[in-house]
Structure 1
């Protein structure tokens, strides 16, 4: 249940029971103290007449509340609601977390969404209780808190890394939000000892349960040699960010397999919040697994799959343009075959990885390189080679721009206009780029094989109609059916790459 669908009494009961499932989905302001808390705060529950609920922490800031020092409401996963809704507010929130306002201002955000600045501000205030600048400011404060409490970075460097334009602005915001100076926030932290001060090593929050082995196995099966490395408990890769190449590794420490951490190095420190946000989306860390699993377990045929793999996640992506190329190459061939072709393209056309990208050799090629020289390394049917080159060319020239702030319907329409892109490719890209939780890849051979294994309808129309019972979580159903142990009788029409 999301914030908008909950009554005051339902929210208050969640607070009374200290239900951690709602942490990050809303905060409560206590009028008598001027403090806002997460729903699971261990402090004594305030009287109902003293409580005011906010959909976003930025709205609580704007109303004059400061963050609770006991429950740290900023130290929780983000709201899953912004993926659930493909509306303007949801798209705007994803772009704000991706640093668009810090790089392009509110006007740049509005332009990407196709609205005027005034209209966008009105929408966000109505939906979240705060305008775009306040939302971006809250995100900067959250990023700064993570870096202050978990890294040894100099405080002045943290200020600019988190997106603040000046030390004074940074100090004022931290004091206003947390009622502490940056030095005092740092003193409350638990920093990990690090020998390499240029490398950031921070914890990643998520809602339990989570299928971490399944996520790492997914990335390991599709890892491009030289660009990525994955094993049973980690995933690392090189990626291009606005300020230059970056490297990151998501891993679980041997002494705590339930802990999830991020190691990272970036060319420009201002890219660090962008990288952190994209990694969260890549691992679907803001999902609400209890809400998903509750719906899926209501379906008798799927209940055993959920019992075997609770907390399944839908993999996102780091670069939407890269994902389209990878998906087009992976159509109608096996995962190992696609991986071989993609490795050839990466080593043949990609720039060298930075020296700090431990164990990696190449970056994924730019769209310009694939469009101009892809034919020299691509193998396979001519129609597919031409389709990949054409798609790369349209992205290189800006005729096609894919991003996490896209309107899902418009993105699908733009993708289907490309030669060589069919419904499976368009929907697969939509699922992984925009985070749409309700995509059911009915034309996917591996999905249909899993459906047969689960005893679901064999007829495509009947299966599609049956899938509506799992809405709005059909992307998670799709992932479960991929995981169902089965061997397709026929080569899949599309195999996730």
Structure 2
């Protein structure tokens, strides 16, 4: 962590690189801000610096209504780095709490400890040492900041805001909000600049910040080339670039919710705007996590670019997935064929077995088929779509085993080995496909799909090295950011504005 003098210099410069990695509490006002806040810079003697919003709130500071700490990117520096066992467990604990922030009732430390396989006393100790707050303080801050975001950006009734943020009752929500922020939720909604005033059946609109540099056009081009007709639509350029898609949310205890989302990229601002269908409102916390992972909004370009010095594409993001099952099937369809061919097969699959969905846009009209639907198919039904037997068998196996695979993806990329092993045990899925799924569905930053022909070609062109062994040896210098290196190497082969056929999986059976 920066020392106080260095942190104050970052604050004075409003340095975007430290957004989400640094917060400043101002003792004269009792408010804490992001380092990019546009209010007048406070005096040095009045500043206290923190590594997280939870630390600032634990010391009694309230979040700023102008710079809005709740929309800041998370600090992604340590989550993917090699660290000691205690720090790894502390970050896994934070990820578990993030996943449970919107769950009703209490997320007990005992349950967290059981999930990590350690004692509750140990989890409290390592969590406090790494994050500076207790697990329950961290969880409460996550819930209250999410509530602040929904109160500011959406027109959800306060009762629904309380439920969406994991509070069991409005009374408990109001009490916690007043205790922490010194005003009730209704007062905050009235004070918040630009607070929504429309009816509660309108879409939920949110803002999410990211750090510069951000190669948004490259990210959108990558996704546009792989967008499945009817499921996803991407406007790469134009006055307001955007991505629109259908959404299927499967719930932990059964049931599904269907809807749509739109992400737009306002020019000149380091934020994306997220618009959610009204029926997805109660799942806002989960969708915020999905969107942040999908668009890699928590990346720390400074650290990544330093490790990948010499590779073009500063600010390149790692494209993730809103629907990991869709991405996994799409990866299988992409084996040994071009991106365009894989997209054609995926579109046929959606037209044959996807459900219709009403959205505001005619180009987004269907849901990707669910695992249950595909698992019930006969191989001949996939063959009728032109999908060869080996890939059809892999898709059916993926669908049948998805209940076992989904938790490994939902738990995050801290330990990808289990997911890779499960995937490679399925028929028709080899190391390339498993690494590609982990890279995008899991958002694993250190994947390196073996024997990828586009990667090998790019390495040969740039470094004069030949063959997989030389490529693997070179790639070690890029760890733990090899996934980003792969994306940059693929992009280095592409003449603008087209991209290389990067999913052409080495012409090696997988």
Normalising by structure 1, what TM-score?
0.85
After superposition, the Cα gap between the structure-2 partners of 1:490 and 1:367, relative to the gap in structure 1 and judged at 3 Å, is closer
Corresponding residue number in structure 1 for 2:419:
411
SS of residue in 1 equivalent to 2:458: helix
Q: Which residue of 2 aligns with 1:469?
A: 477
- 1:240 deviation in Å? 1.5
Residue equivalent to 2:223: 219
In the TM superposition, 1:353-372 aligns within 5 A as 353-354=357-358, 359-372=363-376
1:290 aligns with 2:309: no
Equivalent position of 1:252 in the other structure: 265
Q: Which residue, out of 393, 397, 402, partners 2:400?
A: 393
Aligned counterparts of 1:100 and 1:22: Cα–Cα separation in 2: 24
Q: 1:143 to 1:474 in 2, by over 3 A?
A: same
Shift of 1:428: 1.8
Which residue of 2 is the match for residue 91 of structure 1?
92
Q: Which stretch has the larger CA shift, 418-427 or 31-40?
A: 31-40
Partner of 1:425: 433
Alpha carbons of 1:489 and 1:146: their partners in 2 closer, same or farther (altered >3 Å)? closer
Alignment of 1:82-161 (within 5 A): 83-85=79-81, 87-99=88-100, 102=103, 105-106=107-108, 109-110=112-113, 112-115=115-118, 117-161=120-164
CA distance in 2, matches of 1:488, 1:158: 44
Q: How does 1:1-40 map to 2 (within 5 A)?
A: 3=1, 6=2, 10-11=6-7, 13-15=9-11, 17-29=13-25, 34-40=30-36
Identify the match of residue 455 of structure 2 among 447, 462, 465.
Answer: 447
Which is worse superposed, 364-373 or 83-92? 83-92
Please state how far the C-alpha of 1:285 moved relative to its aligned partner.
Answer: 0.8
**1:228 to 1:18, Cα distance in 2 relative to 1, 3 A:** closer
> Could you tell me which residue of structure 2 aligns to residue 484 of structure 1?
492
Unpaired segments ≥5 residues, structure 2: 83-87, 495-499
Shift of 1:393: 1.0
In 2 relative to 1, CA 70–261 (structure 1 residues): closer, same or farther, beyond 3 Å? closer
Please give the alpha-carbon distance, in whole angstroms, between the structure 1 residues aligned to 2:94 and 2:502.
42
Residues 366-422 of structure 1, C-alpha deviation per residue, up to 9 Å, x if partnerless? Answer: 212212215243234323322221222122467975324352222222222223222
Deviates more, 1:184-193 or 1:202-211: 184-193
Cα distance change on mapping 1:172 and 1:250 into 2, 3 Å: same
The 10-residue stretch of structure 1 (224-233 or 63-72) with the greater mean CA deviation from structure 2: 63-72
- 2:41 maps to 1:43: yes
- Check whether the contact 2:338–2:501 (CA below 8 A) recurs between aligned residues: no
Please tell me whether residue 75 in structure 1 is matched to residue 63 in structure 2.
Answer: no
Match of 1:273 in 2: 285
Aligned residues between the structures: 480
Q: CA deviation at 1:176?
A: 3.8
Q: 1:384 aligns with which of 391, 394, 414?
A: 391
Residues 131-178 of structure 1: CA deviation (Å, up to 9, x unaligned):
333222222222222222223333333232233222233323333444
Q: Give, in angstroms, the shift of residue 341 of structure 1.
A: 1.6
What is the TM-score of this pair, normalised by structure 2? 0.83
The CA deviation string for residues 163-198 of structure 1, in whole angstroms up to 9 with x for no partner, is 322223332333344434323432232246868942
Using the alignment, how far apart are the partners of 1:443 and 1:103 within structure 2?
46
Shift in CA distance, 220/108, structure 1 to aligned 2, threshold 3 Å: farther
Assess if the C-alpha contact under 8 Å between 2:167 and 2:173 holds in 1: yes
What do the CA deviations read for 1:187-236 (whole angstroms, capped 9, x no partner)? Answer: 23224686894212233311112111112111111111222222212211
For the aligned residue pairs, the C-alpha RMSD in angstroms reads 3.3
> What SS class does the counterpart of residue 36 from structure 1 fall into?
strand
1:180–1:100 Cα change, 3 Å: closer
The alpha carbon displacement at 1:69 in A equals: 4.7
Kept in 2, the 8 Å contact 1:83–1:437? The answer is no
- Summarize the Cα distance change of 1:483–1:374 in structure 2 as closer, same or farther, 3 Å threshold: farther
* Residue 53 of structure 1, CA deviation: 4.4
